[in-house]
Structures are given as C-alpha cells and as structure tokens.
Structure 1
Amino acid sequence: MSGSARPAGGVAPLPGVARAEFRALGTVVTLLVADPAALEEARGLLDAELAAIDLACSRFREDSELSALNRADGRPLRVSGTFVDALAVALDAAAATDGDVDPTCGGVLVDLGYDRDFTEVARDGSRAVVTARPVPGWRVVELDAEAGVVRVPAGLVLDLGATAKALAADRAAARIHAAVGCGVLVNLGGDISVAGPAPDDGWRILVTDGTSPAGGGTSPAGEDPDPARSGAPHRAVAITEGGLATSGTGVRRWRRGRETVHHIVSPHTGECAPSSWQTVTVAASTCVGANTASTAAVVRGEAAVEWLEGLAVPALLVRPDGRATVTGAWPHSHGTTG
C-alpha cells in the first residue's frame, strides 16, 4: 500500500479503464474494469450478485430471507447458500472482534428509528425516548451451515448491515475477475474490493477525512459520487489487492427524541458508539476484513489504536477536529499523530 498527503482531487482516471456507476443497496455503486470490452459482462455479474445479497440480507425488504428469519418466532428456517455465507461472515466478525461487531443489534437499531431506508429515517421527527440495552449477543444464533438451517430466539432482530455490503463487494470482485480475467474494482458506497491484476501504480483511492458536513468515505480517484464532498480534506492511497473500507459516525445521523443518534452502536451497551473517531479507514486482505476492523475501531473508541496496531493492519483514524492517527503501513502525512 502506498499513499500521498497531497490533495487527490486532480488525479485523473486511469487510461484504458472502463467505469459504470449506478445506485443499489441504498448507496452509490462504482465498477471499474481494466478491459473496456469486459464492462458489459462485468456489470451483469455485479447486478446479479447485488440482487442476491439484497434478497437474502435486506432488513428493509419484507420478502428477504433476513426478514423471514426475524419473523420466524424462534422456529428454524431453511435458507439459501448466499444467506448462510452472509450469516457465517457476520458471526465470524463478531467472534474476531469480541462482539464489537454483532449481528444481533437489529432491535437496538429499530428502537433508534433505523427501521426503514435511511433517506426516510433522516426525516423522522419522532419524539420517542431512546432506552439503551445490551444486545442479545451473537452466540445465541444457531447456524447449521451444512444443512442450511438457521434459528434465532423469538423476538431477536438480526441485522447484517455491518458485513453484508462488504461481502457483496468481495464476492462480486472475485466473480467478475474469474469470468473476464482482467483487473476489477467494486466500490459499494465506500466498501471497496479489488481482484486480478492491478494497474501499474495500483488502484488509487481518495479517502475523505469526515470533517466536511457530508462526512467521510472512500472512492476511486477521479470519482466524486457526492458533490457535497468536493473540496473536503482528503488523501490519496493506492491498493493492489484486497479491500479498503471506511466506517464513521458523521453521515448516517438522525434525531431520535432529544438525541442525535447514528447507525454504529456498541453491542455491549446498546448505545451509539463514542465520538472519538469521525472516520476510521482500514486496508485488509478482504473488504469484509477491512470493514469489520473499521467498524470495531469506531466502537472501541480510544482503545482502537492499540488494537489495530496489534492486528498490524494499515488504518487511518480521524478525530472530529480533523486530527489523524495512522497504524500499520498506512502512509504518514502532515498533521497525523501516532
């Protein structure tokens, strides 16, 4: 991994790389392929992967497998291979983070008002009082992966939002590369996965620091899916394999009663994660790994730096005032600490 502290807005798109952009899973999707002739096939494969993940894992679709499981009232439910994979990834993330990233947080998110598409949540003027409580915990989920059967206790609401989108990016990138043979980058709203041969200088990514009103995130250099981010402080990094993901508390925020809340909760308390970090961006061998670590870091607050150092993963942690700390091989730049 390499990087630069120079503003990256002037970095031109890579020559010979074809690009498609559209909306899916409630976010902006960007697909880059190193062979323009492969774009149409790659787009079809990406569409199929996103549709499968959405049908399996969406908490906001009545016809999804996740919704069916949440309505099962404690009864075992037979599920698809896609759902088995997604749930297994979520449970692995919970185990790897000592429960900091936990799929049983759905009930807390519903109580906070995140019970519909976020564009509708943001307009919710509810005066409901927020009552924090620890989540049931990932160990109560029973998964028989071989039989394709899942059971959760009655009343428990699963939410796979912390890992399913990153899994979709990894699955799509790998599937597209296997089919078309060229290098590919899949970006699902800042959850980025790459597969196949990278460009000579790597896939260059802009990482905004989250101090703008629009919050932070990641996007391929030369792309600005949210015009509100133009001019925000950002860095350019390059990756050649694996994934990159940003988690933060500055974008998905809304009012609930007298409180301002956000979508990253601490499973241990049921409260919104502390505000130590506006954004945390992590590079890892997979997008799932990057997103798991970045989300857990937000939940851990000040303890995240030592934890990430122990994992030896490259990470950029940015405080609400813009001060940054880096870990692992993340490139140091002016204004960082640590």
Structure 2
Amino acid sequence: MTAGRATAAAWRTWSCTVRLVVTDPARLPHCRDVLAVWLDEVDRACSRFREDSELVALDAAEGRPVRVGPVLAEALGAALRAAELTDGDVDPTVGSAMAALGYDRDFSLVERDGRPLKLVVRPVPGWRRIAFDPRERLVTVPTGVRLDLGATAKAWAADRAAATLAEIADCGVLVSIGGDTAVAGPAPDGGWRVRVQDRTDEPDAHAPHTVVAIRDGGLATSSTTARRWSRGGRAVHHLLDPRTGHPAAGPWRTVSVAAGSCLDANIASTAAMIRGASAPAWLERNHLPGRLVDADGAVTTVGGWPDEPLPVAPVAGPGTGAGRGAA
C-alpha cells in the first residue's frame, strides 16, 4: 500500500460537505468518482426526501412486509443496532416527529423561521416495532411510522466508502461526510489530523476548535448548532430525544467521539447529546475518547481525548470533525 503526500477534494451533497483525502494523488480522481456514485446509491435507497427512494416506498407500505435492496437493508441494520446499543437513545422511528418540527425536506430547503409550533410530549413509536429479517432483507414498518436514518446513515456510508476506496486505490483514504469521518489504509506520517470545531454555526476561520490525530477507525461530532432552525421564534434542532419527540435539551452544544469505526463514533456522540449530563461518565464506562462542549464553551474531555490541540494544520480541513452539517 501507498502512504505518501495527502491530497484532497471537497464538494457538497446531502446539504453537507463531503471531503475525500487520499495519500496517492494519482488516485484522487478515480476515488472521487467512485465515492460520488456510492453516495448517490445511498441517497436513492435511504433518503426520506425523494419520492423515488426505497425508504419512502417502505414507509408507504402501510404495514406490509417489503423486501428491500442490500444498501437499505445494511443501513437499516446499522440504525437498529444503534438503537439497541444505546437503549433507544438513537432511534430511527423519529421521522414523523422530525417532520412535525418542519424538517420534512432537504435541509437546504427547510424554512429557517416558520410559524409557531404546538409541541406535545409524545415518545416516538420505538425501534422495536420495526420487524427486520436481515437474511431475507424483509422489513415491516407499522402503519403511520416514518423512518429517519439520518442519525447513522452518513457515518455508515463513510465507513463503507473509506474501506472500499482504500482497497481499490491501494493507499490511505479519509472520507468525511458532514463531519462524520472514517479512515482506512495506511495513514500519513503523524496520522490523519482532523479539525474539530466547538460550534458549527460560525465561519470556519473564527470558530473555536481543536485538532486531533487518528490512525484508524473514525471520528464523529454531533451538534445542536449544525442543523438548527426556528418556529415562532423558538429555536429547534435535529437531535431529538425519542422519549419526548422534542429536540434534546441537554447541556452540550457539541460532542465529539473517536471509536473503532465512524459509525460507532457517531452512535456514541449522538447518544451522548441525548443523555446530557450523564454522558461523560457513560463515555468513560465505554472507554470512548470524547470531547464535550457546553453552551458557554467550556470543554470536558474523557477517555483519553487529548487536552491540547496538535501544533499542525489539519489535512482533513474545515468541514471535517464538527464541520457544517455534522450529525
């Protein structure tokens, strides 16, 4: 395998920044093409915003079992695993609650300041109501339940992409999709340096941040400032507490976690946002390095997360870590 000078490409999709970094510059154009095709395949399978997606057809099946394609089956399996690992803190049945808040279309089209909402505390239907046979790829979604795989799909897609590209390009690869970062293959000297921002609603050049290095696995940041809008002057965001159907109201504005995969990092960072004040102890018990930033900017680190930023420029650049569109 090759581990040389890293070179990068970046573009926008899914209302977030995609960043691809490879250690063999000659392989960048081909890797970019392969990644773009993969992201389109995931979107056609998993988007809740396009009428021709498999997910939308599944929601419309009115309780009938549906045999889904391999991409949606794997993505749904990842979402249900996240729900099981977090005791329901990360739950894919939040689709209707998300739509009720106004997030019912691609985020670039969401009205940023709409009419007032009458919010009722109502738990989401719950992931255990989804019948899924992964072997036969048969899924049954009860009538009235809408799925949203947004909490895990980007991280899962990044993991799959990084592993595939590292194999076909025979070099080191970093893939960041809206701040969910996966790496595979040989890392550059000193590791992959990733910028992690404290806020995601400020210009990259001015936002407080740190820089960390990873050699394998992945890193993810969940944030209440990334996908945020208001209804009747009330600020809402996309990280919903499944127990209430409302945006999580914990003390953290961002949580960043490193793990053995980008998916596991994302599951942990999202669950930490939902768990609130108990999150640091939970991350410690699970031996996960984490960085939690509260509403006033105070930083708490756990699990061996480095206390000081590395004195180098990040090869992953703005948009990675807690970049715009983070989970």
TM-score in terms of structure 2 length: 0.91
Shift of 1:239: 0.4
Q: Distance in 1 between matches of 2:152 and 2:183?
A: 17
In structure 2, the partner of 1:10 is none
Q: Distance in 2 between matches of 1:132 and 1:144?
A: 31
Instruction: Work out which of the residue numbers 111, 121, 128 in structure 2 matches 1:132.
Output: 121
Shift of 1:287: 0.5
Equivalences for residues 136-285 of structure 1 within 5 A: 136-210=125-199, 213-214=201-202, 228-285=203-260
Q: Distance in 1 between matches of 2:81 and 2:10?
A: 31
2:116 aligned partner, one-letter code = R
Shift of 1:257: 3.3
In structure 1, the partner of 2:314 is none
2:101 aligned partner, one-letter code = L
2:307 aligned partner, one-letter code = H
Tell me which moved more, 253-262 or 61-70.
253-262
Shift of 1:258: 4.6
Shift of 1:253: 1.3
In structure 1, the partner of 2:83 is 94
Counterpart check, 1:84 vs 2:73: yes
Q: Distance in 2 between matches of 1:325 and 1:121?
A: 32
8 Å contact from structure 1 (residues 91, 138) kept in 2:
yes
8 Å contact from structure 2 (residues 4, 188) kept in 1:
no
Q: Distance in 2 between matches of 1:314 and 1:176?
A: 26
8 Å contact from structure 1 (residues 282, 316) kept in 2:
yes
Q: Distance in 2 between matches of 1:151 and 1:18?
A: 44
8 Å contact from structure 1 (residues 317, 324) kept in 2:
yes
How far does the alpha carbon of each residue in 1:100-131 deviate from its partner, in whole angstroms, 9 at most, with x for none?
00000111101111101112224352233222
1:329 aligned partner, one-letter code = G
Q: Distance in 1 between matches of 2:18 and 2:255?
A: 20
Q: Distance in 2 between matches of 1:147 and 1:233?
A: 47
Shift of 1:166: 0.5
Shift of 1:40: 1.6
In structure 2, the partner of 1:291 is 266
TM-score in terms of structure 1 length: 0.88
In structure 2, the partner of 1:36 is 25
8 Å contact from structure 1 (residues 275, 320) kept in 2:
no
Give me the identity figure in percent.
52
Which consecutive residues of structure 2, in runs of 5 or more, have no partner in the other structure?
310-327
1:309 aligned partner, one-letter code = E
Tell me which moved more, 312-321 or 252-261.
252-261
8 Å contact from structure 1 (residues 38, 180) kept in 2:
yes
Which consecutive residues of structure 1, in runs of 5 or more, have no partner in the other structure?
1-13, 215-227
Q: Distance in 2 between matches of 1:43 and 1:58?
A: 21
Aligned-partner SS, 1:19: strand
